[in-house]
Amino acid sequence: MSHLSGKTAIVTGSSAGIGKGIAEHFASQGANVVVNSRSQERAEAAAAEIADETDGEAIPVAADVTDEDAMSALVETTVERFGALDVMVNNAGITTIGPAETFDVDEFRRIVDVNLTGTFVGSKVAGTQFIDQGEGGAILNISSLMSTRGLHRRAPYCSSKAGVNNLTRTLAVEWAEHDVHVNALAPGYIWTEITDQTQGSAGYTDDDIRDRTPLGRFGTVEEMAECAEFLTSTRNFVTGEVLYADGGWKAYAWGAGDQ
């Protein structure tokens, strides 16, 4: 039986992509899932699909991850509905591509605010709830392979995700005494419904990714969800870790300077 059975999890930014895949997988393992988006309409649509396809319960709650009051209300709604919170997945993130020398500073701040500050806010409200409950809990922050690599025209994204990694380590150390486990998942190139769109703006092809990845393919949303299940367990003595699920990209010395 999965450790998620009977547990309650919030997954931010879960109306599509990796976040939705994690929410759907958690629900399939018997978890109560709170689907989050800035748009209530998108959250409702995703929650309905997840409820139809799994045996778990999924409810939609809209909130902006950078708004502490809204995120506190998200946790309160969750606890009122299900009685407790057990898992927080900070998945919501954004990116914009552009050369650093002309990149708009306000846009840089916006990306860092969502990706890094939003992860802190989600962790803070969840951590506070876990400490109050007195039974521990799990926080999973979604980072990126690019948290440890420089990539052309990705200054704010790479920087914000590097910050997520060290935030993860710091919170894991600080909250260990409360049995709150904090880990990060750093996906490589994962196939989602927006992959074609992001590739077009970045100027790389499917073959570019396959050639650079030792496993020779994109990862899948389902594979990331399996990783998320492991990293949100409090029974495995793992905390403060960043798991790179990248098909061997980070380990590949021959191609390290190609990107």
Residues with active-site annotation: 157
The size of the chain, in residues, is 259
The CA distance from 62 to 146, in Å, is 28
Cβ neighbors of 24 (< 8 A, separation 6 or more) are 49, 50, 53, 54, 225
First to last CA, the chain: 41
Phi-psi region of 10 (alpha: psi -120 to 50; beta: other; left: phi over 0): beta
The CA distance from 76 to 74, in Å, is 5
Instruction: Provide the residue type at 161 as one letter.
Output: K
The CA distance from 118 to 35, in Å, is 16
The CA distance from 238 to 55, in Å, is 28
Q: Per-residue DSSP letters for 203-232?
A: T--HHHHHHHSTT-S-EEHHHHHHHHHHHT
- The owner of tokens 């299900």 is 82
Cβ neighbors of 78 (< 8 A, separation 6 or more) are 8, 10, 34, 61, 85
Number of neighbours of residue 89 by Cβ within 10 angstroms: 30
